[in-house]
């Protein structure tokens, strides 16, 4: 199906989210922070990115800013434990397609991924 880049510093979160994505038939590439994610993007462009907000080296905000600077059109879904509306608004302003709260409900994640993949076609 699609290639999805999953960026999260939590191995546990990557396992949980990754299981769902693989169950839905997607190929997964994993990174532990935004900096690793950018390196992967340069060599293996994914169809969609799912990124955590709080990570070492490069967080979700800086990742979105870097993508914007690269003029990348890859759709990004942000997963975050931060429930502040201000965080959601900033992510959307920086180009995120959607912002979901961790842990994301499988139905919400499925819908966001489907929307992202339909957009990238």
pLDDT tens for 8-26 read 999 999 999 999 999 999 9
- Give the separation between CA 10 and CA 54, rounded to whole angstroms: 10
| Residue 83: Cβ-neighbour burial (10 angstroms; 0-12, 13-18, 19+) | exposed
- Give the separation between CA 17 and CA 34, rounded to whole angstroms: 17
Where along the chain do its domains lie?
1-70
Give the β-pairing of 3-7 and 48-52. Answer: parallel
- Give the separation between CA 93 and CA 38, rounded to whole angstroms: 19
Q: Give the pLDDT confidence of 94-109 residue by residue, as tens digits.
A: 999 999 999 899 999 9
Domain with residues 1-70, CATH architecture = 3-Layer(aba) Sandwich (3.40)
The residues of the chain scoring below 70 in pLDDT are 120-121
Residue 120 has a pLDDT of 59
Strand ordering across the sheet containing 3-7: 27-31, 3-7, 48-52, 76-80, 98-101
Angle between helices 60-70 and 85-93 (to 10 degrees): 20
């Amino acid at each position: 199906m699609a290639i999805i880049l999953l960026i999260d510093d939590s191995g546990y979160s990557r396992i949980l989210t990754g299981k769902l994505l693989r169950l839905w038939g997607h190929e997964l590439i994993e990174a532990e922070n935004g900096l690793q994610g950018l390196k992967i993007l340069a060599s293996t462009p994914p169809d969609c990115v799912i990124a955590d907000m709080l990570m070492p080296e490069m967080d979700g905000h800086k990742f979105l800013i870097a993508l914007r600077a690269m003029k990348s059109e890859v759709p990004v879904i942000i997963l975050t434990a931060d429930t502040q509306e201000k965080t959601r608004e900033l992510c959307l302003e920086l180009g995120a397609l959607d912002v979901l709260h961790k842990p994301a409900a499988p139905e919400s994640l499925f819908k966001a991924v489907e929307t992202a993949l339909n957009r990238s076609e």
